[in-house]
Amino acid sequence: MRKILFLMIFALIMAGCKSREEKVAEVIKQEMFKTLYDFESYEPIETKIDSAFTSIYTDTLALLYANEVSEMFNELDDAKMEYESAKSTMEIWSDSYSSLGVYKFNEAKKKVNDYIEKIDNALKRTENIYESIKKRNNEIGHSFIGWKATHKFRCKTKGGNFDLGNYLYVFDKKIETILHIEDMDNKNNSRLIEIINEAIKSDNTKEDIDTNTSATEQAASDSLSKALKGEI
C-alpha cells in the first residue's frame, strides 16, 4: 500500500514538473499574447534552446550606446542630400561677382561647413561611445545567466496576411522572466550589432594605427565612413 501511495505521489510530482522546452514555450506564448495583433493566428514553427551567458550583444547598456551612434549616423545621412546640393550650388556661383552670386555662394558654403562640423562632432562622440562599449565588454565577462531560445513562428498582420517571425529570447535561470528580446530579422537590430562589433574589434588592435590615431578613433572613423556609404 505504501509503495502504491509513493508511486502515486511521485507521479503527481512528475506531472507537475514542466520540461525546459515546455517552460520556454509557455513564457513565449504569454509574451505573444501581450504583443501580437492577432494572437489567435499565432503558430509556433521551431524553437531552439541553449545556455545563455552575459554578452555584449544582448547587454542593455551596450545596445543603448550603439543606438545613440546609429541615430547620429541617421541624422548625418538625412543631411547628406542638403550637403551635396550645397556643394553644387557653390560650384555654380563660384565665379560670380554679383551680389546675388556672392550671397548664394556664401549661403551654400555655410551649409557645407555646418555639415563638416556635424561629421567632426559625430566622429568625436562615436569615439567616446566606442570606448564606453569596450569598457562595458570587459566588465560583463562571460557568466551563465539562464537560457536563450531562437523562436520561429507564423502569425497574421493587421492586414490579415500571414508573416514569419524570427526572434531571440533570453530567460533567467528559472525561465520565469524574459531578460532580452530581439527581432533577428530587424535591420536596425542588425545595425546595432555591427556597431558593437566595430567598437570591440579595436580592442583587439595591439598597436595604434599611427602616432596620431588610436585604434578606437580609427574604428569610429571607419564606422562613420561605412554609414555615409550605406554599408552599416
pLDDT, tens only, 169-186: 999 999 999 999 999 999
Segment among 97-101, 163-167, 180-184, 219-223 with least mean pLDDT: 219-223
Dihedral sign from CA coordinates of 165, 170, 173, 177: negative
Cβ–Cβ < 8 Å for 31, 178: yes
C-alpha–C-alpha distance, residues 48 and 66, integer Å: 27
SS3 49: strand
| CA torsion angle 81 83 89 90 (round to 10) | -160
Mean pLDDT of the chain: 88
pLDDT at 214: 75
Give the pairing type, strands 178-183 and 162-171: antiparallel
The predicted pLDDT at position 216 comes to: 84
For 55-84, what is each residue's pLDDT tens digit?
999 999 999 999 999 999 999 999 999 999
- From CA 188, how far away is CA 71, in angstroms rounded? 10
Radius of gyration for the alpha carbons in the chain, expressed in angstroms and rounded: 26
Cβ 165 vs Cβ 44: under 8 Å? no
Instruction: Give the amino acid at 23.
Output: K
Q: Where are the beta strands (DSSP E) in 16-159?
A: 38-53, 144-156
Eight-class DSSP state of 202: G
Secondary structure (3-state) at 76: helix
